[in-house]
Chain A
Amino acid sequence: MTLILKTENLNKVYRRGGLMGGKSISALNEVNITVESDKPVVIAVVGESGSGKTTLAKTLLRLETPTSGRAIVYDTVVAGSGATPSKRDFLGLVQPIFQNPFEAFSRYRPVDAYLHETARRVAGLDEAQADRAVDEALKNVGLNYDEIRGKYTGQFSGGELQRISVARALIPQPKLIIADEPVSMIDASRRMIIINLFKRLRDEAGRSFLYITHDLATAYYISDYVAVMNKGQVVEFGPARAVMSNPSHAYTRLLLDSIPTTKSRWRPRVSRAG
């Protein structure tokens, strides 16, 4: 068994207001998650805005320092006390994919420059190797380097650009990819392309994903584990199918009941017009 992700009493407190009498907000409150598996997994983190999902992602990406506690990714302490890896080692282990691909890349720079830079700086490849790595990564997400080269963000659709973000994240061969709301800016009819891509990368390329979302339906479809967060706490954690088909916490049930399904209605709809 490999220890894929473990958080130990992870806390993050944001302070607001002056030195005295300020208000503190607990964005992460004693978060304890342990995922051990022989195979790469997709771990979904679901909850409302303000539940702490993004703070958890930022902490694991070392964009925020936890107030206390620590986080371990593939046997390496990445956040909190004892976090030792250098920036380059860390970025070779964990890579991010952000919500809005149009904001993740600059409008004034061709997108393949970012892929190249990741290959040179993070993966430490030389020019020729970097070219091959970029080509390989783009092939992995179903794109062709020749069609990407020299183009700017405005020349792509949101879905294509998000696939390029995935390709960029793949270049340093990370073990864990943290995707914060990766499909919420993408057309509903195109979302499944990204979701299925994650699934294929897990099964074929051996990458694990931390999939942060408020879309429970895709979380159910793709995830092996799910953590339900509310007000900074993980209120329910376990195998995805078990948690979502038989939720034990009231908050999980509330989330599930709020999904607009096409199976049963909240309120009767009678077409009164002819």
Chain B
Amino acid sequence: MIRLNDLKISYRIGSRVIDAVDGVSLTIPEGCIVGIAGESGSGKSTLMKAIYGDIQAPMYISRGSIDYGFKGSDGKPVTTANIRDEWFKTISYVPQSSMNSLNPVIRIGKQFTDFPGTDRDKKRVLERATAFLGKLGLPAEVMTSYPHQLSGGMRQRVMIGLATFFQPGLIIADEPTTALDVVVQKEILMLLMELQEEMNNTILVVSHDMGVHYQVTHKMLIMYAGKVVEYGDTESVFADPQHAYTKMLIDSLPTIGDDSMRGVMASAAGAGGDRAFGVGTGLVEVKPNHFVSLANETAGVPA
């Protein structure tokens, strides 16, 4: 469980302070995949960085706190101050365009044994890693290959392998499939879902693609202008979106076989002069497990 208490994250640039995440309070339960959606600049990545504990100047927590309801590998409760010790032990991160994050001059096998938190016995780690990658559909030769010898989809599988090999309780994945084709994307997402069901850990997935969110997540978190405007069970959010911005996101892309163009028109209207969605302060539970920021919601909503 992760609890965000009135969290505000700012960047200090010269004498100016920019609030990227502005007063977010919510609880992320254990054992579920949470999708985070919102346009660039809405604060998604900043929030993910803060939860991961990668807080470096000019970014800082200007108000509130994050409670991690789990213990680290040394048995002590995890806090923002000591979370770095848990990186790639109980918490892992799959960065954007992560298939290019593998070290190009080191063989894949070495990248598994190089982790600080690994077992000292390299041979045992290698054997386990080979077996683990085998489960992800990668042949044993991958361990002795360099990243450039693998296709994009294979590299992405390796990255997911690296992120899940230590059975972390929390995985943060920033756009894990954006650079991939639909066919490979589906394979990777199916793999992620299977692994999550097996390990029953918490995964936070940032994506622009509402289709990906619908397929993969248990809960959805919609961000807009540094605030969370909607948070709830995926089923409920998609079946009955409460905030105008969420509605626009769900309707914004055309679907095959739907000739009505209803969604396309909605997005075209919203896209021109947007940044006009109303955002209230704090979330209200409108249905069980479905929260929305309601204040001034109708102000400036595109027709």
Contact = CB atoms under 8 A, between A and B. Distances in A.
Interface in B5-61: 29-32, 39-40
Interface in A175-193: 187-193
Given A187-B40, A193-B268, A260-B185, A244 B209 contact: no
Contacts of A258: 182-183, 185-186
A67 interface: no
A269 B218 CA distance: 6
Nearest to A257: B186
A192 B31 CA distance: 35
A244 B252 contact: no
A262 interface: yes
B73 interface: no
21 contacts: A49-B181, A189-B252, A192-B252, A192-B253, A192-B271, A214-B181, A216-B256, A217-B255, A245-B257, A254-B183, A257-B186, A258-B183, A258-B185, A260-B182, A260-B212, A261-B256, A262-B211, A266-B215, A271-B235, A271-B289, A274-B29
A16 interface: no
Interface of A: 48-49, 187-193, 196, 214, 216-218, 220-221, 244-245, 254-263, 265-267, 269-274
B271 A267 contact: no
Interface residue SS majority, chain B: helix
Given A196-B264, A255-B183, A271 B219 contact: yes
Contacts of B253: 188, 191-192, 217-218
Nearest to A221: B254
Contacts of A192: 252-254, 264, 267-268, 271
A265 B252 contact: no
A168 B252 CA distance: 27
Contacts of B181: 48-49, 214
